[in-house]
C-alpha cells in the first residue's frame, strides 16, 4: 500500500517536472527568472569579492612588495621613452592609413564600438555545461546576448545569457560554438568549431584546393553579421587533406589565452551599416598622400 502511494507520488512529481521543463523550453520564463535573480546575485557577490581582492593586492603591492622598485622604475622610464617614440611613428602611420582609405573610398568600420568588461569567473556550478566565463556587464550595461567579446589579441566568444548587470559568455572553444572564418593569406572560407576547453579548434568545410600553411592566422569572415570582419580567432597548427570528403581538415589553436582571461572588450553594433555597395561617383584620381604637416608650408 505504501509502495503504491510512493509510486503514485513519484509519477505525479515526474509529470509535473516534465510539464515544467517543456513549458520552460517553449517560453524560457524560468530561464529568464533564474538569469535575472541567480546571475545578478552571483555577479554582485563576485564583484564584491574581486573588489576586496583588488584592495588587498593593491595594499600589498603599495606597502610591502617594494623590492627592486627603483631599478624597475628606471627600466620603465626607459621603456616609456621608447614607447613614446613608437607611438609617434604609429600615429604617423595611422594618419597615412586614414588618407589612403579615403583615397580608395574604403569607409572606416564604424558599425561596432567597444567597451571594457571584467571577467569575474570561469564556469560555475553544476549547471554550467558549456565552456563559458562570467563578466561584470549585463544587458543594461551593454552585454546583450550575442554581443561579441574580444581582447587585444583576438576573439574570445559571445554573450550567451545576461541579467541586468552580469552576463555569461560562451567561449570559442565550446563545442556549441560555430564561427565563419577566413584564412588570412589564402582567404579560404571555413566554419570554425570548438572542441571543448583546453582542446584545439577545428575548421570544417574548407575546399580541397585551398592553400593553407601551418602558422597562418584565421580571422572572422563577418558574413553572418554576428562578428565584425577581420578579428583573429585562431592559429593553424595542422592541415591534413581528408581521404573521404571534398574538404580539408584543419586544426587550430585559439589565439587568445582563454585560461587566463582578466579583461575583455565587448563589441556593440552601432547600427551604422558598413558600406558594401559600389560608390556612385567614380573613384578619385590617385595623386598620392598629402604632404606631412611638418613639410607643409
The candidate with the shortest Cα–Cα distance to 32, out of 133, 171, 145, 148, is 145
DSSP category for residue 282 = P
CB of 148 to another protein, least distance (A): 18
- Residue holding cell 616609456? 80
Q: Which residues contact 40 (CB under 8 A, 6 or more apart)?
A: 138, 163, 164, 165, 166
SS3 label, residue 211: coil
Is residue 196 a contact residue for another protein (CB under 8 A)?
A: yes
Is residue 95 a contact residue for another protein (CB under 8 A)?
A: no
Which of 21, 59, 60, 115 is close enough to bind another protein by CB under 8 A?
21
Query: By CB under 8 A, what part of segment 22-51 binds another protein?
Result: 24-25, 30-31, 33-42, 45-46, 48-49
What is the rounded distance in angstroms from the CA atom of residue 29 to the CA atom of residue 22?
11
CB of 124 to another protein, least distance (A): 5
- Residues 172 and 254: beta-carbon distance below 8 Å: yes
Binding part of the chain for another protein, among 73-81, 127-135, 203-211, 261-269 by CB under 8 A, reads 127-135
The cell numbers describing 205, all together, are 568545410
Which segments of 140-200 are extended strands (E)?
Answer: 148-150, 155-162, 167-171, 178-183, 189-193
Using CB under 8 A, count the residues that bind another protein.
Answer: 43
Is residue 130 a contact residue for another protein (CB under 8 A)?
A: yes
Is residue 132 a contact residue for another protein (CB under 8 A)?
A: yes
Is residue 241 a contact residue for another protein (CB under 8 A)?
A: no
Is residue 191 a contact residue for another protein (CB under 8 A)?
A: no
Which of 15, 76, 106, 176 is close enough to bind another protein by CB under 8 A?
176
Is residue 19 a contact residue for another protein (CB under 8 A)?
A: no
Which of 7, 9, 20, 88 is close enough to bind another protein by CB under 8 A?
20
Is residue 59 a contact residue for another protein (CB under 8 A)?
A: no
The dihedral built from the CA positions of residue 71, 73, 75 and 78, taken in this order, carries a sign that is negative
Is residue 121 a contact residue for another protein (CB under 8 A)?
A: yes
Rg for the chain (alpha carbons), in Å?
25
214: how many CB neighbours lie within 10 A of its CB?
12
Residues near another protein (CB under 8 A) are: 17, 20-21, 24-25, 30-31, 33-42, 45-46, 48-49, 120-130, 132, 134, 160-161, 163, 168, 170, 175-176, 196-197
Amino acid at each position: 500500500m505504501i509502495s503504491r502511494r510512493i509510486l503514485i507520488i513519484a509519477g505525479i512529481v515526474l509529470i509535473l517536472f516534465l510539464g515544467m521543463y517543456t513549458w520552460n523550453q517553449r517560453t524560457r520564463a524560468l530561464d529568464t527568472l533564474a538569469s535575472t535573480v541567480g546571475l545578478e546575485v552571483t555577479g554582485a557577490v563576485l564583484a564584491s569579492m574581486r573588489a576586496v581582492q583588488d584592495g588587498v593586492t593593491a595594499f600589498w603591492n603599495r606597502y610591502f612588495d617594494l623590492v627592486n622598485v627603483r631599478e624597475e622604475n628606471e627600466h620603465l622610464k626607459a621603456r616609456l621613452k621608447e614607447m613614446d617614440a613608437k607611438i609617434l611613428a604609429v600615429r604617423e602611420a595611422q594618419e597615412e592609413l586614414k588618407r589612403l582609405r579615403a583615397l580608395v573610398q574604403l569607409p572606416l568600420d564604424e558599425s561596432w564600438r567597444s567597451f571594457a568588461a571584467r571577467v569575474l569567473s570561469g564556469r560555475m556550478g553544476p549547471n554550467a555545461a558549456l565552456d563559458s566565463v562570467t563578466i561584470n556587464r549585463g544587458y543594461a550595461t551593454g552585454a546583450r546576448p550575442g554581443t561579441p567579446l574580444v581582447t587585444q589579441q583576438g576573439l574570445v566568444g559571445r554573450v550567451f545569457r545576461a541579467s541586468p548587470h552580469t552576463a555569461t559568455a560562451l567561449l570559442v572553444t565550446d563545442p556549441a560554438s560555430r564561427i565563419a572564418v577566413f584564412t588570412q593569406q589564402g582567404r579560404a572560407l571555413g566554419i570554425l568549431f570548438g572542441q571543448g576547453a583546453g582542446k584545439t579548434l577545428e575548421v570544417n568545410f574548407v575546399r580541397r584546393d585551398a592553400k593553407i600553411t601551418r602558422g597562418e592566422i584565421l580571422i572572422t569572415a563577418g558574413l553572418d553579421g554576428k562578428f565584425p570582419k577581420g578579428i583573429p580567432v585562431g592559429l593553424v597548427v595542422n592541415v591534413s587533406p581528408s581521404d573521404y570528403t571534398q574538404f580539408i581538415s584543419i586544426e587550430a589553436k585559439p589565439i587568445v589565452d582563454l585560461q587566463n582571461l582578466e579583461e575583455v572588450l565587448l563589441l556593440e553594433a552601432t547600427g551604422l551599416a558598413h558600406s558594401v555597395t559600389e560608390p556612385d561617383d567614380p573613384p578619385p584620381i590617385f595623386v598620392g598622400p598629402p604632404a606631412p604637416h611638418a613639410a607643409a608650408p
